[in-house]
Structure 1
């Protein structure tokens, strides 16, 4: 079995073949890379699952690339990732942050076995983000807050294109208006110390999703990047239990 090293973190797609009939599509967040999904990918592969984490369009290159990337291009780059898992009998889509929005929308486009949504942005911590459709013409980029205090180092851009935030808001809108249509089994994970996405976001999804089989894990000491923070082992174990129930 091929193991991806933790350091240096990967900034490109990765694929890990497993023995289980179930495959996992891992969708990273806005301005991030598959590297933020790497610890989860290794964990799930060690549990026997096949894992594929695509690099989303506009990511892993430069902020300027993301500035001219549309929501449809981002979504399509994730959706195409299902092709790498077409040999699996069952597929679960696991998304972090913007990846959670995309994962929910994927479930409406094709048949999958289940969803895991982590830190999905229903309510944004920075209210100025809602003004991005206008602000992008005034201030094209904003400096990103340093997240080097995570136990595992993130991989992301150091600047955020405001036009990209505008595209993220469009994905958020599509997700919210479709939330009641999402019917597959869903595990929702929310960090209660998340400053990027307000902590009530997870419970909102839990209360409004159409799935009759939904569960919510709230991690009291976790911030936005669930896959890298101090309670990640609890999150990973819960995801493994969720996947086991789907087999």
Structure 2
């Protein structure tokens, strides 16, 4: 992968910050347009590289979900001096964002969950998850090869950095994260925005609706369905709408005098858009 394109980045300045987490086999490049839009609204934005990503397929052999969770936690703790900290994540990054909200409720003041990888698309992935304890996939097909990424815009797709393969064993880590997040959903107590792409070929958009229903302790849940573009929403045709929705959502949370001003869970009113 191109080290310049996939490098971590920091943008903007302000009293409030946003931690921006990329997805599995992805890179900060995938989420940079959203980071630029949030920085333009007065947020400091940090987008790290997750362990094992942004270099070679072999680099993913030596990591697991605990490494990704640990890196996300360290990045969150590095933002301790900001008034409010929001976490936005794409795909697997959305799962990590939810974990942070559960494990560090006093530090996460709002979430943007973009194309959350709650359910992979297709019956084959469903079946593989059901029989995952037999590790059949790892024995039969130790590597999964990629020739592209899920973008509808051909110009952007031609520019995209692509990891050519990943160890199928890492799907075990993805499934572990999925299960942990679904179990922990009722303990998320901060406002959340969920954005799905209806034409996503990687994850099932219905998973986002499942999240919205499961965030029963969240004081505010906003769900948006994006009709244009595929899985990598921040880089695709729905990117401007996403940036506007996430930026406006965080702006409204920032307008409250203190984090304690967030509405109580009993006043939760899910909104659809």
**TM-score scaled to structure 1, two decimals?**
0.91
Q: Alpha-carbon deviations, 1:139-184, whole Å to 9, x = none? A: 1111124136535343331112201111111111101111111111
Alignment counterpart, residue 16 of structure 1, candidates 6, 11, 14: 11
Give 1:84's aligned residue. Answer: 78
Relative to structure 2, which stretch is displaced further, 142-151 or 115-124? Answer: 142-151
Deviation of 1:50 after TM superposition, in Å, equals 0.1
Unaligned runs of 5+ in 1: 1-6
Relative to structure 2, which stretch is displaced further, 105-114 or 62-71? Answer: 62-71
SS at match of 1:58: coil
Deviation of 1:67 after TM superposition, in Å, equals 2.5
Give 2:175's aligned residue. Answer: 169
- What is the Cα-based RMSD across aligned positions, in Å? 1.8
**TM-score scaled to structure 2, two decimals?**
0.83
Deviation of 1:41 after TM superposition, in Å, equals 0.9
How many angstroms apart in 2 are the aligned matches of 1:108 and 1:64? 31
How many aligned residue pairs are there? 240
Please say if residues 179 and 209 of structure 1, whose CA atoms lie closer than 8 Å, have aligned partners that are also in contact: yes
Deviation of 1:9 after TM superposition, in Å, equals 6.0
Give 2:142's aligned residue. Answer: 140
How many angstroms apart in 2 are the aligned matches of 1:198 and 1:35? 23
Larger Rg belongs to: 2
Q: Do residues 114 (structure 1) and 116 (structure 2) align? A: no
How many angstroms apart in 2 are the aligned matches of 1:127 and 1:63? 26
Unaligned runs of 5+ in 2: 255-273
Deviation of 1:126 after TM superposition, in Å, equals 3.5
Q: Do residues 40 (structure 1) and 34 (structure 2) align? A: yes
Give 2:125's aligned residue. Answer: 129
SS at match of 2:89: strand
How many angstroms apart in 2 are the aligned matches of 1:126 and 1:77? 30
